[in-house]
C-alpha cells in the first residue's frame, strides 16, 4: 500500500481553506451568544438579589430609610448595563459594562461591598432625614457585596470555554 503525500496535502489545504471561511462567521456568533449569556446572568442575579426578587435580609437602617422614602422600583443598576458589539478591522468585540459615572460607582459598591466611614455630617443627615441615631461608637457602616459581576463572569467563562471547544471541533471537521 502506498501513501500519497500529495493527495493528503491537497486534502489538508482544502480543509484549511474551508475552515478559514467558517471561523470568522462562527466566531462572531460565538462571541455574541456568550456575551448575551453573561449579560442575562448579570441581570438575573441583580433581579433576584435586588428589590425585584427574593432579597437578602435588609438591615434595620435600610428598612427605616425605605419606610421614609419608599423602596426603589428595582431598576437601579440593571437599567445601566450596556452590551455593545463592534467590529474593528478583522477583530470583533463584545463589551458588557456600565458607563463611567455614578451608576458605575454604585455598581462597584454593590458588587464588591465597602465600608463607609461615618462622619459627623453623615450622622446628622441620617438623624434629621430618617430618624436614625447612630451610636457614638459607630465609626463605620459595612455594605456587603453581592458579587454579581464575579459570579456572572465565572459562569459565562466556563460556558464560553465549553462552547469554544465545541466550536473548534465543528470548524475543523
Tens digit of pLDDT for each residue in 55-103? Answer: 567 778 877 887 877 766 656 777 888 888 888 887 888 888 888 888 8
129: in domain: yes
Q: How far is CA 173 from CA 14, 27, 106, 160, 168, in A?
A: 12, 15, 47, 20, 9
67: in domain: yes
Query: Which pLDDT value is given to residue 4?
Result: 52
pLDDT tens figures, 110-131: 888 899 999 999 999 999 999 9
The pLDDT of residue 50 is above 70 = no
2: in domain: no
Coil, helix or strand for 19?
A: helix
Q: Which residues touch 144 (CB under 8 Å, ≥6 apart)? A: 56, 113
Record the pTM. 0.64
154: in domain: yes
Residue 170 or residue 162, greater confidence: 162
1: in domain: no
38: in domain: yes
Query: Which pLDDT value is given to residue 172?
Result: 66
Average pLDDT over residues 157-164: 85
The C-alpha atoms of residue 42 and residue 151 are separated, in whole angstroms, by 8
pLDDT level of residue 1 (50, 70, 90 thresholds): very low
Query: Which pLDDT value is given to residue 117?
Result: 96
Please state, rounded to an integer, the average pLDDT across all residues of the chain. 79
49: in domain: yes
Residues spanned by the domain of 136: 8-171
38 in Cβ contact with 153 (< 8 Å): yes
Residue 53 or residue 118, greater confidence: 118
The pLDDT of residue 2 is above 60 = no
Average pLDDT over residues 20-28: 74
Please tell me the total count of domains within the chain. Answer: 1
Other CB atoms within 10 Å distance of the CB of residue 34: 18
The C-alpha atoms of residue 76 and residue 73 are separated, in whole angstroms, by 8
Query: Which pLDDT value is given to residue 56?
Result: 64
The C-alpha atoms of residue 64 and residue 131 are separated, in whole angstroms, by 8
80: in domain: yes
The C-alpha atoms of residue 55 and residue 48 are separated, in whole angstroms, by 6
Amino acid at each position: 500500500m502506498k501513501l500519497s503525500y500529495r493527495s493528503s496535502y491537497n486534502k489538508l489545504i482544502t480543509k484549511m481553506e474551508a475552515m478559514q471561511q467558517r471561523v470568522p462567521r462562527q466566531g462572531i456568533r460565538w462571541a455574541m451568544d456568550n456575551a448575551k449569556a453573561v449579560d442575562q446572568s448579570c441581570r438575573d442575579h441583580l433581579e433576584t438579589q435586588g428589590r425585584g426578587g427574593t432579597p437578602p435580609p435588609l438591615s434595620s437602617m435600610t428598612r427605616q430609610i425605605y419606610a421614609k422614602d419608599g423602596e426603589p422600583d428595582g431598576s437601579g443598576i440593571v437599567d445601566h448595563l450596556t452590551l455593545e458589539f463592534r467590529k474593528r478591522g478583522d477583530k470583533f468585540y463584545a463589551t458588557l459594562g456600565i458607563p463611567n459615572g455614578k451608576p458605575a460607582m454604585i455598581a462597584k459598591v454593590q458588587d464588591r461591598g465597602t465600608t463607609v466611614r461615618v462622619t459627623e455630617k453623615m450622622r446628622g443627615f441620617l438623624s434629621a432625614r430618617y430618624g436614625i441615631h447612630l451610636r457614638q461608637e459607630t465609626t463605620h457602616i459595612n455594605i456587603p457585596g453581592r458579587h454579581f459581576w464575579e459570579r456572572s463572569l465565572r459562569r459565562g467563562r466556563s460556558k464560553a470555554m465549553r462552547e469554544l471547544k465545541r466550536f473548534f471541533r465543528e470548524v475543523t471537521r
